[in-house]
Structure 1
Amino acid sequence: MSDGLITGTAGPAGPTRAFGQERVRRPRVLSPLREHLRDTMWFAPTAGLVGSMVLWWAAAELDAEIVRMLQESRDYDVIKSLIGVANDAKAVINTIGSAMMTFIGVVFSISLVAVQMASGQFSPRVVRLYVRSRITKATLTVFMATFLFALMTLTSFDSERDPRLVTNVPLIESILALLMVLVSLLLFVAYVNGTVRMMRIGFVIDRIARDALRVAARQPIELPVDAGRLGPETARITHHGRAGVLRDVNIARAVRAARRQGVVLRLIPRIGDFVVPGTPVFTVHGGAAPSRRALRYTVSVGVERTFHQDLGFGLRQLSDIALRALSPAVNDPTTAVQALDRIVQFLASVAPYPLGALGHRDRLGAIRLVQSVPDWTALVDLGFAEIRAYAPGNPQVTRRMLAGLDDLLLLAPEERREPLLRHRDLLAQAVQRSVPEPADRAFALRPDRQGIG
């Protein structure tokens, strides 16, 4: 992750304009950080190791306190019994330490195989599903925490056998270690089940569709903002940092900076665009640009796109899966039909809502940030254009695409029917050119929601 620094450059002065007062849900300030941590594999295991050390320290202190209390009450027979139980548990703790390393190796190997298969068969873009998998991170975290806890418990065993001189009997530590092993075994079963599911294309497509729908649901529900109503441009803010894909913008921070300065910011690139140092990121309308300090860490640039604020990334992945399925090397039109099912689902969900330039408001209801998102035509083209180019030789795909377009024509508002009709006509023309037999053409142009059901 790279959080680029941005600076402002002066421009012509001019007034700002007022907008409506509809309220929208304000984004949480830490949401970009939370999403970026979910795209890493180090945070959860590191937190687990730290938590394991804290748990061991607390358990060791509790064991030492129990021994001190028994020594003060002169219950030496009880201490001897605890020493015997702890010595019996020592062999089990030794076994736990070695077994956990074996389990960690198994989890790591299974994960690599699953990632390799998904990247080769589906699309390199779906690897992020495995990186963000909660069950994978939880399993690795608990296994590593159990391994470290077992090692630290072994250091607590006291070689002293005299109950009057012993300082610690790791009874609570041993019990916690055994409980952590039980949790590890349960998580391993869940991990294997989850990994096997993620190797099935239907589950992968469903996960991508649900993530895409979640992004669409977070879009502000209000009328699109006309960029021409923002007033004259007064400044530009450029990106200073490494080149990369614009992953997200800390909307809350940008809105707060614009409110304090009394201006409106317009985001020039869309989320998912590639930016280089010196690229204009914001235009300022209504006054001077906010300070460099106020806008620090507002723009996040990385090596790949993420779902956090990227409305079109889900369609991009679904289209990639369909294109790979339609390639001569794979020749799997059924997978392409499954991807088309979800493309139609996504487009149907966003069909009634405003797209294009959306506004983000401050707590008083004034628009402070205008963000460009793909409009309806861009989303329809992203979902259908490339698949349509490879579909004419596969009647299963053409029939499903026609049925999907017909369904969207019924659901979309009248003003959004043009790109759907265009793709339907282009698909029909492509089939007319590529399929010589009239009967085959008629069959390929018959809408069917299952392709060839």
Structure 2
Amino acid sequence: MGWKNLFHLRDYLKSSLWLIPFIAIPIELVATRVLHRLDSWLGWTLLDLGVSGAQGMLNAIISATLSFVVFTFGSLLVALQIASGQMTPRIIATILVRDNVVRCTTGLFIFTLLFAISALNRIQTTAFQLVEFLAACLGLTCFAAFLFLIDYASRLLRPISIIGRVGEAGLAVMRNVYPHPTREASEATRLVKDPGSPGRIVQHLGKSEIILAVNLKDLIVLAEKSHGIIELAPQVGDFVGTSEPLFRLYDGATSLDEAELRSTLAFGPERTLEQDPTFAFRIVIDIALKALSPAINDPTTAVIAIDQLARLLRSAGNRNLRTDELFGPTGELRVICRTPNWEDFVHLALTELRHCGAQNMQIVRRLRAMIENLIDTLSKHRRPALHEQLTLLDREVDRWFIYAEDRALALVADTQGLGGASGEKHANSRPV
């Protein structure tokens, strides 16, 4: 199985709600036969149930677990619709359907349901005491799991839980894509060497989709083997239409097979968090913008989203956002793969929120606290882009806050939006 197929398989299995319940079916078939044979061999009388008592208990377990399955899937569909409508549809594939608690709980319900049906079917003139005991234990466990799932789902669908999970996923992607700490000298320039005009351009021949991931190791190996340079025209997360440029090949790389090159890319209908560090920013920002919309008008949720953006921006600022040039074992330039730079992350995190939230006191104070904190704690080469955003925020304050008292309040950095006077010294940093 090639890298691309393995990537798609792994991504599909991670986001498939049906997988664990389906695996529960063959496990139940094996467990039922083993336990019945073990029961006959041991001859236990744990519950001392008669045939009618065992049948009644098993019928009750079947009814309960079937109800749990129906309720779980029905309520899950409704919850997904509500959560995607109030926050963003992008949380469905990235967060909700990948939650292992929901999948494992549903698998437990399916296993218990089939186990009880199999046990009931095998009762003739004698009740199998060990089997009935385990069925009773599974039934009680299902009741406990169902109550836990209700509580867990109510907590999971809260904005702070969703935003926090997206933030954690974004930090993990950042560590994977940018594993090294920042070094000012290594990021001073990008594309030091101009490869010139490409000798050959490979176009995208499949259906129009989004690049989800790229196998950089294989691209470097191919370029090294051909003694040439491979340039990936789009970035991870870009939408690529049919016949659009996919690769630009230089020198010996012009002889490479197109199928080999295309096998290093994974496409899909929507972006994922696998190798796309800006997608976590995008999800959090979308939730914040939805919260700031007149229809919802929930600036406190937007403040919570800014908390996670501050974590993500700090992680980006502390990491080497590598140059576009990747070198082979011999030290020669082999692959050009463009990735977001620091200015891209700053504009993504702040520009839309500044435009949409500049009229809100909570938002401008929280944004100011985030920007000033990053200026104080990140390396010097990260500060110019942040100072620019702080200047733009000051202009927005002058534009929207007419009264001097409101303007002075809006110039205070506050990590809670409107919750404290942290950073009050900055309110007098410029004349009102």
Q: TM-score, normalised by structure 2?
A: 0.82
The partner residue of 1:393 within 359, 362, 380 is 359
Match of 1:93 in 2: 58
On the 8 A contact 2:46/2:129 being kept in 1, the answer is no
CA–CA separation in structure 2 for the residues paired with 1:52 and 1:358 = 52
Aligned to 1:423: 389
RCO comparison, higher one (Cα < 8 Å, 6+): 1
1:367-424 Cα deviation digits (max 9, x unpaired): 7654322111111111110110122221111111111111111233323222212211
Alignment of 1:187-336 (within 5 A): 187-222=145-180, 223=186, 226-227=190-191, 229=193, 231=195, 233-251=198-216, 253-255=218-220, 257-258=222-223, 261=226, 263-285=228-250, 286-288=252-254, 290-292=256-258, 294-295=260-261, 297-336=263-302
Other structure's SS at 1:180 match: helix
Distance 1:368 1:44 in 2: 42
Which AA in structure 1 matches 2:289?
A: L
Bigger CA drift: 336-345 or 365-374?
Answer: 365-374
Relative distance call for 1:236 and 1:90 in structure 2 (3 A) is farther
User: What's 1:47 paired with?
Assistant: 23
Q: Displacement, 1:49?
A: 2.3
Cα shift readout 1:301-343 (whole Å, capped 9, x = no counterpart): 2222111111011111111111112112222221111111111
> C-alpha separation between the residues in 2 aligned to 1:359 and 1:370?
5
Which residue pairs with 2:75 in the alignment?
A: 110
The amino acid of 1:193's aligned partner reads D
- Which residue pairs with 2:308 in the alignment? 342
**In structure 2, the residue corresponding to 1:283 is in which secondary structure?**
strand
Q: Judge which range, 35-44 or 283-292, deviates more.
A: 283-292
Query: Partner of 1:287: helix, strand, or coil?
Result: helix
Contact 2:7 2:266 in 1 (8 A): no
Determine if contact 1:248/1:299 at 8 Å carries over to the other structure.
Answer: yes
Structure 2: which 5+ runs fail to align?
181-185, 420-432
Which residue of 124, 129, 132 corresponds with 2:98?
132
Q: 1:236 to 1:148 in 2, by over 3 A?
A: farther
Contact 1:135 1:190 in 2 (8 A): no
What's the secondary structure of 1:271's corresponding residue? coil
- How many Å separate the matches in 2 of 1:160 and 1:335? 62
In structure 2, the residue matched to 1:26 is none
Amino acid paired to 2:157: M
Per-residue displacement from partner, 1:165-188 (whole Å, max 9, x unpaired)? xxxx75554444334334433432
Per-residue CA deviation, residues 45-92 of structure 1 (Å, 9 max, x unaligned), is 2222233333334445x34xx64x69xxxxxxx699999766643332
Give the whole-Å Cα distance in 2 for the aligned partners of 1:447 and 1:141: 48
Structure 2 counterpart of 1:184, from 142, 146, 149:
142
Evaluate the alpha carbon distance shift between residue 81 and residue 416 of structure 1 in structure 2; reply closer, same or farther with a 3 A threshold.
closer
Report Cα offsets for 1:20-46 as digits up to 9, x if no partner.
xxxxxxxxx956643332122232222
CA separation of 1:415 and 1:199: change in aligned 2, threshold 3 A = same
* Shift in alpha-carbon separation, 1:105–1:246, aligned structure 2, 3 A: same
Q: Tell me the distance in 2 between the aligned counterparts of 1:334 and 1:395.
A: 11
What is the letter of the counterpart of residue 118 of structure 1? A
Greater shift after overlay, 32-41 or 315-324?
32-41
After superposition, the Cα gap between the structure-2 partners of 1:361 and 1:443, relative to the gap in structure 1 and judged at 3 Å, is same
- Check conservation: 2:202, 2:258, Cα contact below 8 A: no
**Unpaired runs of 5+ in structure 1?**
6-28, 71-77, 162-168
Note the C-alpha offset of 1:245. Answer: 2.0
Distance 1:350 1:89, change over 3 A: same
Percent identity (aligned): 30
| TM-score (norm. length: structure 1) | 0.79
Is contact 2:324–2:337 with CA below 8 Å preserved after alignment?
yes
Give yes or no for contact 2:223–2:253 (8 Å, CA) kept in 1: no
Task: Confirm or deny: 8 A CA contact 1:117 1:199 kept in the other structure.
Answer: no
Quick check: 381-390 or 246-255, which moved more?
A: 246-255
Number of paired residues? 409
The worse-fitting range, judged by mean Cα deviation, of 372-381 and 273-282 is: 273-282
8 Å contact kept, 1:32–1:250: no
Aligned equivalents of 1:394, 1:227: Cα separation in 2: 41
The aligned amino acid for 2:415 is R
Q: CA deviation at 1:218?
A: 0.8
RMSD, aligned α-carbons? 3.4
Cα distance change on mapping 1:435 and 1:36 into 2, 3 Å: same
Q: Say if 2:368 is the partner of 1:402.
A: yes
Structure whose residues are more often helix by fraction:
2
